Structure 1
Amino acid sequence: MENNTHTSKVLIAKSYGPSDVLEFQEITLDTLPQGFARIRVKAAGINPIDARRMTGEFKHAGLPQTFGTEFTGEIIEIADDHSDFKVGDFVLGSGNGFTHATVIDVPVGNLIRRPENIAWEVAGSIAGVAQTATTVLDEIGPINSLLVHGASGGVGSIIVQLARERGITVVGTSSKRNLEYVNSLGAIAVEYGDGLTERIKEVFPNAFDASIDMVGNEQATQVSLEVVKEDGVIGTIAGKPTSSERVVPFWVKRNPQNLQHVVNGIEAGKFTWEIDSTFPFENAAEAYSKILEGHTRGKIVLTF
């Protein structure tokens, strides 16, 4: 194993607030721990939870804070004599605390290979949302119908497709401009806003087996309480307090096999993967502001 010294430019926030709290910090990385790979990042997705941590709406660690859960890049050092990976391999996966940085250290067990025909910006945006979506479906268990609030976003887009792959009927809500996209994923698309319950019942009059909220607003909670059967699952990944004890929070569980399944589907053209927009790492503040606006179609990605 080579024992090189590497530096990394890391996105941090020393306080909570809008995107102008973000800054870059240059750090020297410690000796690479056993079982880890050092990655030069090529692209990293931004998820709504990153932006909500920036504003302080969601707090799970103290200040200063770092950001990012998914990435793709090139291995520049590895400390695992039994791994099939080597220096120079292109990989993707989940981070070990943060991925919005130029160089990161990641457990080898979090990595899978990046297929050549998957663009960097796509590869860097898969791991977090793919594993979140599969976690939700696995923990809900066998169902026949699912209501997805916020079906056009990163997690929403893939959970619709994974659910349809399992033979589940899906109704997905979105803004008007994303209805056609949600339909193309295999869901019955319904525009959110006033009168949502009635519009959902028009297209799916039966009670749903389950619902999942990607948005985290009160309308999603109240509508789900009205249209999901009494013993059905009402879940959320938004990480926000809810007004009903029936709403179950789901948290991602890392599973490289589930991630590989989604990557294989994207590589084969079976799953659609939409990139809303990309921003150079230096323009991270602009990217974070955009994700807070909502209404994204697919993923917002930082490129390096």
Structure 2
Amino acid sequence: MKTTVLIAHEYGQPEVLNLESHSLPTLASGMARIQVKAAGINPIDARRMTGEFKHAQLPQTFGTEFAGVIVELADANTTWKIGDEVLGSGGSFTHATVIDVPLENLIRKPQNIEWNIAGSLAGAAQTAMTILDEMGPAQSLLVHGGSGGVGSILIQLAIEKGMNVVATASEKNQQHLQALGATPVVYGEGLIQRLHSIHPEKFDASIDMSGNEDATQASLATVKSGGFMGSIAGRKLSSSQIRPVWVKRNINNLQHVVDGVADGRFDWSVSREYPFENAQEAYTDVLTGHTKGKSVLVFQ
């Protein structure tokens, strides 16, 4: 079986991305072969493309989450069958027409969740749950850059736990934050003063999605001594007090979010959809930032 894979043989802007046809090897034991229907794009994908974040040797492939249909199974299996609709984290990559995925990464796609939503869930959902797991108990949370995919579900999960959430975003995304249940704040010059005005008491915790200096200084100024301060930006920060948070895959955490999206408890926004053949355009837009929810590649 053949697959068409998004691949880059050098670092650079989206023009380095190519769609290449490759033959798939014999399916390994413990794996499922998936016809991809949708796959989310995360900022880390674009940053790997440019070389800002060097995660693998060249040439490199992209994508960490997907939704699709099982077309082949390596082993006799009582849990899964060919034709099952699934979603989850990928094996090596997900921005491709056909991918091989460990069975342990799969959960069933609820019938009432559209493909574009299903394909964008796994990465952001498990990242948000990892943040909460590492943060521990908290009554108040400051989210820097809360309008993106991770921030949007994190806000809702934190509120589900009873936290008071304040989140920053650009002016155009303030209503989005408010609709999610957070107190919205415009980031930029004067951020610390605005935070003090809105939330005079120190926060128990903060999480930074952007990795910029304004967010670093705001966390240092507004989070209580000994409080949790984390970042998922993957960038070197000016303060060692802010700890990096790396996603831990956990199928139970993913199932919790998927169930919440399916039954309407959690809102999940896909702001941009792109045909797979327009991947260069999609990555160009992701590089500009200021997203609301997720961007997704969709496949015929």
- Are 2:145 and 1:144 equivalent residues in the alignment? no
**Whole-Å separation in 2 of the counterparts to 1:106 and 1:14:** 23
1:218-265 residue CA offsets vs partner (Å, 9 max, x unmatched): 111111011011201110001011111111111111111111110110
- 1:254 maps onto 2:221 in alignment: no
Post-superposition shift, 1:81? 2.5
Distance 1:276 1:25 in 2: 27
Q: Answer yes or no: is 1:200 the counterpart of 2:202.
A: no
Query: Which of the residues 40, 49, 54 maps onto 1:45?
Result: 40
- Report what 2:186 is aligned to: 191
CA distance in 2, matches of 1:266, 1:227: 32
Quote the Cα distance in structure 1 between the aligned partners of 2:36 and 2:274.
14
**1:215 offset after TM fit, Å?**
1.0
Q: Distance in 2 between matches of 1:88 and 1:243?
A: 50
Corresponding residue for residue 300 of structure 1? 295
Match of 2:19 among 2, 16, 24: 24
- Pick the aligned partner of 2:236 from 236, 241, 246: 241
> Which one-letter code corresponds to 1:236 in the other structure?
S
CA offset digits 1:128-180 (Å, max 9, x no partner): 00000000100111111110001000000000000000001110000011001
SS in 1 for 2:225: strand
2:161 to 166, 181, 184: 166
Name the SS for the 1:8 alignment partner.
strand
Secondary structure of 1:198's counterpart equals helix
Task: After TM superposition, give the deviation of residue 80 of structure 1 in Å.
Answer: 3.3
Q: 1:83 to 1:235 in 2, by over 3 A?
A: farther
- Please point out which of 60, 68, 90 is paired with 1:73: 68
Question: What is the aligned residue count?
Answer: 299
Counterpart residue type for residue 41 of structure 1: V
CA distance in 2, matches of 1:96, 1:287: 22
Unaligned residue ranges in structure 1 (runs of 5+): 1-5
Which residue of structure 2 lines up, in the alignment, with residue 228 of structure 1? 223
Tell me which residue corresponds to 1:288.
283
Q: Distance in 2 between matches of 1:62 and 1:247?
A: 28
Q: Whole-Å Cα distance in 2 between the matches of residues 51 and 83 of structure 1? A: 38
Segments of 5+ residues of structure 2 without an aligned counterpart are none
Paired with 1:220 and 1:13, the residues of 2 have a C-alpha distance of 32
Q: Which residue of the partner structure matches residue 15 of structure 1?
A: 10
* Aligned partner of 2:175 among 173, 177, 180: 180
CA distance in 2, matches of 1:97, 1:232: 36
Question: Structure 2 matches for 1:93-172, cutoff 5 A?
Answer: 93-172=88-167
How big is the shift at 1:216? 1.4
- Aligned mates of 1:208, 1:293 — CA distance in 2: 30
SS in 2 for 1:147: strand
Q: CA deviation at 1:83?
A: 4.2
1:77-127 Cα deviation digits (max 9, x unpaired): 012324411000000000012100000000000000001110000000000
Counterparts in 2 of 1:83 and 1:53: CA distance versus 1, 3 Å? farther
Measured in 2, the distance between the counterparts of 1:80 and 1:256 equals: 21
Structure 2 residue matching 1:127: 3-state secondary structure: helix
Alignment RMSD (CA, Å): 0.7
Task: Identify if the C-alpha distance between structure 1 residues 194 and 83 changes in structure 2 by more than 3 Å, giving closer, same or farther.
Answer: farther
The code of the aligned residue for 1:215 comes to S
Rounded to whole Å, the distance in 2 between the matches of 1:83 and 1:40 is 20
Match of 2:212 in 1: 217
1: CA distance between counterparts of 2:78 and 2:30?
9
Counterpart Cα distance in 1 of 2:78 and 2:139: 40
The one-letter amino acid paired with 1:147 is: L
Identity rate, percent:
61
Q: TM-score, normalized by length of structure 1?
A: 0.97
Secondary structure of the residue aligned to 2:246 is: coil
State how far apart, in whole Å, the 2-side matches of 1:208 and 1:121 are: 35
Q: Which residue is 1:264 aligned to?
A: 259
2:86 corresponds to 1:91 = yes
TM-superposed deviation, 1:201:
1.0
Partner-residue secondary structure (3-state), 2:154: helix
> How far apart are the structure 1 equivalents of 2:236 and 2:274?
31
